[in-house]
């Protein structure tokens, strides 16, 4: 089996300066050969780096707007003044100071009574004249009556007024109305402001892998 020149060069060219004395040329067959050497193999693993950026969440909450208006209670008081009504009509009427209606009624009644009294007197005197034959003297009696007795009036002393005035109280009502007040509260809720910044993960190759082969011996034993 023939070995390419590149494979030999990769393995042993850095070990010998005169490697051509033992290295076969291209196309030449290799005999059974055993090569003994001390090698140091150093490997370096690949390292992966992970860079993370955490997510950020910010919340800003504005305070609610509160509008408060207080309505004061109201008290309405309505009073009607007291009126005192004093009726003295009866007192003045007893003194002759009457209204037209009452004065007309009084005069009509008085006239009626006087007319009835006159009719009664005339009828009585006529009956007396009819009975003159009964030895009476109606003419003299009637003459005296008509001359003197008709105009005789009795005089009395009296006190007026006899009636008391009528006193009435009108009004004086008190109306109290209370209108309750109270606070008027208006609340406007403000929504929170939320800002979200997503995080991320970055994966990168921090260290490449490698294999280092180093000859650490002092001699090379070749057996054919």
Mean per-residue pLDDT over the chain, rounded? 79
Tally of structural domains, the chain: 1
What global pTM score does this model have? 0.37
Is 43 part of a structural domain of the chain? no
Whole-number Cα distances in Å, 6 to 12, 36, 110, 154: 10, 21, 175, 185
Is 130 part of a structural domain of the chain? yes
pLDDT band at 37 (very low <50, low <70, confident <90, very high): low
Is 111 part of a structural domain of the chain? yes
Among 20-24, 95-99, 193-197, the range scoring the smallest mean pLDDT is: 20-24
Give burial (CB, 10 Å; 0-12/13-18/19+) of 157.
exposed
Phi, psi of 27 (to 5 degrees): 95, -5
Helices and strands (H and E) in the chain: how many: 4, 14
**C-alpha angle 177-182-188 in degrees, rounded to nearest 5:** 150
Question: Per residue in 65-101, pLDDT tens?
Answer: 888 888 888 999 988 888 999 998 888 888 888 888 9
* Residues spanned by the domain of 84: 65-187
Percent of the chain with pLDDT over 90: 11
Is 165 part of a structural domain of the chain? yes
Is 88 part of a structural domain of the chain? yes
Is 212 part of a structural domain of the chain? no
């Amino acid at each position: 089996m023939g070995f390419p020149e590149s494979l030999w060069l990769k393995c042993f060219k850095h070990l010998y300066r005169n490697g051509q004395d033992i290295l076969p040329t291209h196309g030449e067959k290799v005999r059974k050969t055993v090569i003994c050497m001390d090698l140091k193999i150093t490997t370096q693993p690949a390292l992966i780096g992970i860079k993370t950026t955490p997510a950020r969440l910010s919340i800003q909450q504005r305070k609610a707007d509160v509008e408060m208006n207080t309505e004061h209670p109201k008290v309405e008081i309505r009073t009607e003044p007291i009126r005192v009504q004093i009726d003295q009509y009866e007192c003045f009427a007893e003194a002759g100071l009457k209204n037209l209606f009452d004065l007309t009624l009084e005069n009509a009644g008085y006239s009626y009574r006087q007319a009835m009294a006159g009719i009664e007197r005339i009828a009585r005197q006529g009956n007396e004249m009819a009975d003159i034959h009964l030895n009476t003297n109606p003419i003299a009696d009637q003459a005296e009556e008509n001359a003197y007795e008709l105009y005789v009036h009795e005089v009395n002393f009296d006190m007026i007024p006899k009636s008391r005035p009528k006193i009435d109280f009108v009004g004086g009502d008190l109306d109290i109305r209370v209108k309750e007040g109270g606070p008027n509260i208006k609340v406007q809720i403000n929504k929170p402001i939320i800002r979200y910044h997503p995080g991320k993960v970055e994966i990168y190759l921090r260290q490449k892998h490698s294999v280092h082969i180093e000859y650490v011996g002092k001699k090379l034993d070749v057996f054919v």
